[in-house]
Structure 1
Amino acid sequence: MDGNPTTMSRRGFVRTAGGVAALSAAAGTATAQEGQRHTVDMTDELVFDPDAITVAPGDTVVWENVGTIGHSVTAYEDDIPGEAEYWASGGFDSEDAARRAYSSGDPDSGDVGGGETYEHTFEVEGTHEYFCIPHESVGMLGSVTVQPGGATEASGPEVPQVPDSARTLAIATGIALVSVIALAYFFVKYGGDYEVGDEE
């Protein structure tokens, strides 16, 4: 090193590149640990589509009203796991309060209008049964099953599910490591110090 701040040795370069790769991997790991999002449509045919869904703890279900008729997403208080907090569009803390407050066209009452959404993150394992207040009598019911790993295939051997974010992380980490190794090889093979920046 000649004391010039724009000069970097091979070792310095390798240390810097390794640090960048480690930071990239750490950021990717944080992303991979976030829960998945699942969408359930609420339709003018007065159904939840799909009406049954299986998710992993920490996953979020988003109910989207794809029609024009207002709906609610209201948990059956006696049909959710005992450790789970009560949940319903409108933010009510009991089924009775949700039923009493519901008013068509009023979002504060739990009505989810056309084009609007309601979402809930599930932490407690078990089956959570729910319904639409104005259309319960015509069978607008649904359920969310929360289990480790989320949905699994109904037949055949059980295959571990790898989240998309974990696959992305593995690919990005692999590319970063290959890049660092290739650059390190180049600098080790050709040796010497190299100017970083424009030459005069």
Structure 2
Amino acid sequence: MTVGDSSVSRRAFLRSATAVTTATGATGIAAAQEGQSKTVEMNDDLKFVPADLTIAPGTTVVWENVGSIAHSVTAYEDNIPEGASYFASGGFDAEQAARSAYPDGSIEGGGTYEYTFDTEGTFDYFCIPHESAGMTGTVSVQQGGGAEGGGGGESVPQVPNSAKTLGVATTGAMVLTLGLAYFFMKYGGDYGEFEE
């Protein structure tokens, strides 16, 4: 084996390490973008918190009952965007069906209900037993959505914790790859010829 053969081996190693690091980074970014979710709490004060939520399409909203009083999540059938699927805890496909069947579809303390919003627009919803007490909420789905609250003003984009973790891991992998490349380039060659 000659010195030239050794450097080809190092180049092959560097190409492989670079390909692996790039693939890891791309996979990490894709994983961070998938599965985004937001939580809305339902409490014993008969409120959805936050009552107004702005999200990006594809986000899953999880309603969590943090109190002891049973609640429901029921869309106002006439106040969802055209072409959007109807949603209600209990899996009902119409507002009147959900109202008539209650307490079927109720969410007890500690329980959850989730729905993924794919259609852009504004979705108004309510809690069947506490609608008269003002327990209502709104989900606004829009490109670039993600800041809680729906009021005017400029919002600052939020980076999910999973994206931060993947960014740190990817950066670490790239630094390690560069360190190994430096080590092999500086100390890994010039072996001379091997004799048989």
TM bucket (normalised to shorter chain) is: 0.7 to 0.9
Structural RMSD (CA): 2.6
Question: Contact conserved, 1:10 with 1:193, CA < 8 A, in 2?
Answer: no
Partner of 1:198: none
- Flag the 1:59–1:193 CA change in 2: closer, same or farther, 3 A: farther
Please, which runs of 5 or more residues in structure 1 have no aligned partner?
Answer: 3-7, 104-108, 195-200
Instruction: Name which of structure 1's ranges 155-164 and 141-150 shifts more when overlaid on structure 2.
Output: 155-164
What is the correspondence of 1:1-200 to structure 2 with a 5 Å cutoff?
A: 9-103=9-103, 109-152=104-147, 161-192=158-189
CA distance in 1, matches of 2:176, 2:131: 57
Corresponding residue pairs, total: 184
How far the C-alpha of 1:167 sits from its partner, in A, is 4.1
TM-score normalised to structure 2 length: 0.82
- Flag the 1:21–1:155 CA change in 2: closer, same or farther, 3 A: same
How far the C-alpha of 1:128 sits from its partner, in A, is 0.4
TM-score normalised to structure 1 length: 0.80
How far the C-alpha of 1:171 sits from its partner, in A, is 3.5
Residues 56-112 of structure 1 deviation map (CA, whole Å, 9 limit, x = unaligned)? 111111110011111100000000101210000011111111111112xxxxx2110
1:112 is paired with a residue of what secondary structure?
A: coil
1:40 is paired with a residue of what secondary structure?
A: strand
CA distance in 2, matches of 1:50, 1:91: 23
1:176 is paired with a residue of what secondary structure?
A: helix
- Flag the 1:21–1:151 CA change in 2: closer, same or farther, 3 A: closer
CA distance in 2, matches of 1:72, 1:157: 32
